[in-house]
């Protein structure tokens, strides 16, 4: 979700200069932990956001995020594989999903298994501009 980069953050090519989708001032204002297969030094940005690149997997990223949050909430953003891994590990209490009517062809399915049996319920739905927002809670 940080960017379209596939492969190492080589100094010899354009991947090292990629600084995210948001320009120099991302909307977060706090530490963000990016799962990556390739190490990269932390990337401080304007407005208080620093991207940290974690190569040790989701548990390590979650530990770092919890530490940085000082007891506050931790939010997970990512693709289907990351969300499914976190849900399967019992790490997700609440999900906010945005569904947009876009036909993309094939891809990964988020809703495998029985989410109701896993304790999730639809807590709220809201029609937004161009998307339906659904909030799921784990009982």
pLDDT in tens, 97-127: 988 887 777 778 888 888 888 899 999 999 9
Cα–Cα nearest to 138, from 99, 102, 77, 95:
95
Tokens linked to 82: 């990351």
Q: What is the mean pLDDT of the chain?
A: 87
Distance, CA of 40 to CA of 42 (rounded, Å): 6
Tokens linked to 122: 């639809």
Tens of pLDDT, residue by residue over 2-32, are 777 777 777 665 566 777 788 888 999 999 9
The phi, psi pair for 20, rounded to 5°, reads: 100, 170
Distance, CA of 9 to CA of 106 (rounded, Å): 28
Query: What is the pLDDT at residue 134?
Result: 95
What percentage of the chain reaches a pLDDT higher than 90? 43
């Amino acid at each position: 979700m940080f960017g379209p980069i596939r492969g190492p953050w080589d100094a010899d090519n354009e991947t090292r200069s990629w600084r995210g989708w948001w320009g120099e001032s991302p909307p977060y204002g706090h530490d963000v932990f990016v799962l990556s297969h390739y190490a990269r030094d932390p990337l401080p940005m304007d407005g208080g956001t620093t991207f940290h690149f974690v190569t040790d997997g989701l548990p390590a990223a979650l530990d770092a995020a919890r530490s940085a949050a000082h007891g506050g909430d931790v939010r997970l953003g990512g693709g289907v594989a990351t969300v499914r891994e976190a849900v399967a590990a019992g790490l997700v209490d609440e999900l906010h999903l945005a569904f947009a009517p876009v036909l993309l062809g094939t891809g990964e399915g988020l809703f495998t298994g029985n989410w109701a049996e896993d304790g999730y319920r639809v807590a709220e739905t809201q029609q937004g501009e161009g998307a339906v927002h659904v909030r799921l809670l784990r009982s």
